[in-house]
Amino acid sequence: MIQLFRRIRQKLLSENKLSTYLVYAIGEIILVMIGILLALQVNNWNEKRNQDELRITYYQQLLDELTLDNNQIELNLERQEKSIASYQDYLKSYERDNLSPQEIFNNINKVNFSFGTIEFNTYTIEVLKSTGDIRFMPKALRNKLVTLKNAQTDHLKNKGIRESMSLRIMEDAYLAGPLSLKNVLENQSQMAKALDFDYRLPYQIAIMHSGLTSKTFAENNNIWELKNILALTDETVQLIRAELNL
């Protein structure tokens, strides 16, 4: 094609058809420009198609991860609500008159002392932020993802601080009296007397009560934050499903 244009130009110049040559040269320039514009348009189409495919892949990954988070949050909420209920049952046990320290100790040991763990699935949002691909997302979804990620990060930080305080108190409770030895010292009266379990027990119960009160406070705050994260997660899912026309 280029050689053909070259021969035409040479022929026009050799025949001194300057005006015709100029018209032809302008036409050739226009054709080249059209070719460049078409090439750019095709490139833009390809780039947009690639971006759309990448965006759909991100959407599907986000939906999978958010579904896992939803399930995990629901289970975590259920566990903490049961834990709080066990603490409330323990408090109700005091409605009986004149409980002995051993009876109170038995009741307090029915409370759930464990802390649940939670880890959010943030792989895709981290990839979106690190690669800069988050710019391909619609503004509303982009803002919602950032808000959700910040809420998750804040929750994990706050949860760790609150629960560490409760754990320290409960650790003090177990250090306050070696009650785990009581059953194995039935035939060791001298050792049992030296440890003086009856004296240590009320003190240990007081510390355990304080620790469980702190734990319940932490769990109530955890529940409030998790419910907020759950709402943000549902809103994010709805935005993604709308983008996928689901």
Over residues 159-185, the mean pLDDT reads 74
pLDDT exceeding 90 applies to what percent of the chain?
48
Statement: residue 198 has pLDDT above 90: no
Statement: residue 12 has pLDDT above 60: no
Over residues 151-174, the mean pLDDT reads 87
pTM: 0.75
For residues 72 and 202, which has the higher predicted lDDT (pLDDT)?
Answer: 72
For residues 10 and 217, which has the higher predicted lDDT (pLDDT)?
Answer: 217
pLDDT tier at 207, thresholds 50, 70, 90:
confident
86-104: pLDDT as tens digits: 999 999 999 999 999 889 9
pLDDT for position 21? 46
User: How distant, in Å, are the alpha carbons of 16, 84, 150, 230 from that of 146?
Assistant: 69, 31, 6, 15
pLDDT tier at 188, thresholds 50, 70, 90:
confident
Statement: residue 16 has pLDDT above 60: no
Averaged pLDDT score across all residues of the chain: 82
